[in-house]
Amino acid sequence: MADGSVSERVIRVFAQFKKVEPEEIRLETTFEELGFDSLDGLNLIFELEEEFDVVVPDDKVQSMKSVAEVVEGIEQLVADKEQQPAA
Amino acid sequence: MKRVVITGIGVVSALGNNAADFWRALSSGESGIGPITKVDPANLRFKNAAEVRGFDPGEHFDDKSLMWLDPFAYFGIVAAREAVADSGIEFNDALRGRTGVVTGSCLGGKETEDKLYADLYGENKARFPPTSIPRVMSNAVASHVAMEHGLTGAAFTLSTACSSANHAIGQAFWLVRQGTLDAAITGGSEAPLSLGHLRGWEAMRVVAQDTCRPFSKDRTGMILGEGGAMFVIENLEHAQARGAKIYAEIAGFGMSADAHHLTMPLASGAAKAMSEALTDGNIDPAQIGYINAHGTATQANDVMESAAIRLVFGEHADSIPVSSTKSMHGHALGAAGAIEAAATVLGMHNGLLPPNINFNEDDPECNINVIKNKALPAEPEAAMSNSFAFGGLNAVLAFKRF
């Protein structure tokens, strides 16, 4: 498991994706403010799936339009994953 | 300029492995969509596709021939054989020299390639079969069909993603119309259900979990399909001189580029291709009485395409029945335009327009006249079949009843 809380790690992924310092990414920042088009959003979700080893369902992608919404969604998916018995 | 007619049709699809079975299923609104069996979809986020079923390549080819053939090739070759037999055309040496083959394929031999690379990178296998390259090349179908029937006229393959087959049929149509060829075998084929390719579609998040519901408000995306369709087309005098049965006239063809975005389609680009097809065929918009839509059932396409139809036809769009037969045979990518041309032409020929199945709810953003769930008896004077590709490359065919 990588260092940091889910929100810190999500912000790090955003910062790397946008090539900016993590300090410039706030929780309330929206995709629109980041100048994301739909493909940027999909690429970011792909990076997050890699970082957290989770699968983001298609319908969940629609509800991820800000950093805070992404953190909330990923926290839920990580929690779901940890509840599952190891295969 | 010559008039160009369709005299033979062949189809391999999720709705049936010949044109008669295809038409029976299509006109009864049957779905060819079901669980993916060609690969294990356990780790994919979608599980359904429109697979060709009950097709045994061994019934059509001996083992030595099959060594050369990816599934996309045998779908195309078998469809071409059916089209030739259906047309009753008899090739002599002179006609062979005046007959071409123009095919469409987005992917070429992707199933073959996927397996080769799994062996190479996964199993560290050092040797590929010697037929690897010719199996994978996208022009394999054009070459095999030319060899099988001894056709020595112009032969080539178009690859423009989901518009490939319409671009191919359009070029063949123009070559016959301008007199370069007397006849052509043309269409498209595709076999996109390899795991590597499905992973790519999964990442785009445009594939539906359950089924394909074009223009319905509750649509959730496309369903991939496979297969092929081929036509024998020839100039009218040639067809009439040999007493051929004529399904329909290919009347016009239009192309355009959105010049906008690789994956976000633009209504003005689609509308331009439709308008160009009308102009090319000297067809009045009021003559169009059916549109076989591109209708992928993605959010973006269906809204865009409805707006494009409005741009071209205005109020007349209220009275043009529209269906996306992808709701039944899936989205066969580079074969889509060919399978949909077959649906359009068979519909005109039989006086029954194929339905848009899985339709539940009107979408105010798709303000067109959808043929909901049940085939519609009608005899349109002219009809149109749309294909709009990723990359913004649009190709539209227009047909006239004959």
- What global pTM score does this model have? 0.93
Tokens 């899985």, residue located = B358
Amino acid B346: pLDDT: 98
Mean pLDDT of B320-335: 98
Nearest CA in chain B to A56: B45
Which SS3 state, helix, strand or coil, does residue B211 take?
coil
Of B355, B359, B360, B361, nearest to B374 (Cα)? B355
Look up residue B244 and give its two tokens.
Answer: 């051929």
Beta bridge partners of B99: B183
In the 8-state DSSP scheme, what is residue B355?
P
Touching check for A57 and chain B: CB below 8 Å?
yes
Cβ distance of B203 and A57 shorter than 8 Å: no
pLDDT at B324 over 70: yes
CA dist list (Å): A16 to A23, A28, A65, A78, B204: 12, 18, 18, 21, 21
Cβ distance of A58 and B205 shorter than 8 Å: yes
Annotated catalytic, B331?
yes
Tokens 């060899």, residue located = B147
∠ CA B309-B336-B43 to the nearest 5 degrees?
115
Amino acid A3: pLDDT: 64
- Give the percent of chain B with pLDDT over 70: 100
CB atoms under 10 Å from CB of B365, counted, come to 13
Mean pLDDT of B151-176: 98
Q: What is the pLDDT of residues B223-266, one digit of tens each?
A: 999 999 999 999 999 999 999 999 999 999 999 999 999 988 99
pLDDT at A2 over 80: no
Which SS3 state, helix, strand or coil, does residue B250 take?
strand
In the 8-state DSSP scheme, what is residue B333?
G
Look up residue B205 and give its two tokens.
Answer: 């998040």
Which SS3 state, helix, strand or coil, does residue B233 take?
strand
Annotated catalytic, B366?
no
Beta bridge partners of B232: B8, B185
Look up residue B9 and give its two tokens.
Answer: 């049709």
User: Sign of the CA dihedral A77, A49, A38, A32?
Assistant: positive
Confidence of residue B74 (pLDDT cuts 50, 70, 90): very high
Which SS3 state, helix, strand or coil, does residue A38 take?
helix
Touching check for B53 and chain A: CB below 8 Å?
no
Of A87, A79, A47, nearest to A64 (Cα)? A47
Touching check for B42 and chain A: CB below 8 Å?
no
Touching check for B203 and chain A: CB below 8 Å?
yes
pLDDT at A85 over 80: no
Beta bridge partners of B101: B155, B185
Touching check for A54 and chain B: CB below 8 Å?
no
Cβ distance of B264 and A38 shorter than 8 Å: yes
pLDDT at A87 over 70: no
In the 8-state DSSP scheme, what is residue B186?
E
Distance of alpha carbon B97 from the chain centroid: 26
User: Could you tell me whether strands B376-377 and B352-353 are parallel, antiparallel, or unpaired per DSSP bridges?
Assistant: antiparallel
Q: What is the pLDDT of residues A12-68, one digit of tens each?
A: 999 999 899 999 899 998 888 888 887 888 889 999 999 999 999 888 888 888 899
Q: What is the pLDDT of residues B213-225, one digit of tens each?
A: 999 999 999 999 9
* Residue spans of alpha helices (H) in B163-266: 164-177, 195-204, 236-241
pLDDT at B183 over 80: yes
**Residues of B with Cβ-Cβ distance to A42 under 8 angstroms:** 203-205
Annotated catalytic, A58?
no
Q: How many CB pairs under 8 A join A and B?
A: 16
Contact yes or no for B252/B4 (Cβ under 8 A):
no
Amino acid A86: pLDDT: 54
Amino acid B272: pLDDT: 98
Nearest CA in chain B to A62: B205
Cβ distance of A42 and B204 shorter than 8 Å: yes
Touching check for B319 and chain A: CB below 8 Å?
no
Mean pLDDT of B44-64: 97
Residue B205 C-alpha, separation from nearest chain A C-alpha, in angstroms: 6
Considering just the CA atoms, what is the radius of gyration of chain A in Å? 13
CB atoms under 10 Å from CB of B375, counted, come to 18
Give dist(CA B398, CA B283) in Å, integer.
9
Cβ distance of A58 and B263 shorter than 8 Å: no
Give dist(CA B213, CA B88) in Å, integer.
38
At B245, the amino acid letter reads K
Give dist(CA B372, CA B354) in Å, integer.
10
Give dist(CA B313, CA B286) in Å, integer.
8
Nearest CA in chain A to B300: A38
Nearest CA in chain B to A57: B45
pLDDT at A1 over 50: no
Mean pLDDT of B178-186: 98
Give dist(CA B221, CA B127) in Å, integer.
39
Amino acid B152: pLDDT: 98
Confidence of residue B305 (pLDDT cuts 50, 70, 90): very high
Residue B218 C-alpha, separation from nearest chain A C-alpha, in angstroms: 13
**Residues of B with Cβ-Cβ distance to A38 under 8 angstroms:** 263-264
Does the ipTM exceed 0.85?
Answer: no
pLDDT at B65 over 80: yes
Q: What is the pLDDT of residues B379-397, one digit of tens each?
A: 999 999 999 999 999 999 9
CB atoms under 10 Å from CB of A13, counted, come to 21
Q: How many residues does chain A have?
A: 87
Mean pLDDT of chain B, nearest integer: 97
The distance between the two most distant Cα atoms of chain A, rounded to a whole number of Å, is 41
Q: Which of A37, A38, A46 sits opposite B203 (nearest CB)?
A: A46
Q: Residue window 14-33, chain A: list those with CB within 8 Å of chain B.
A: none
Q: How far apart are the first and last CA of chain B?
A: 18
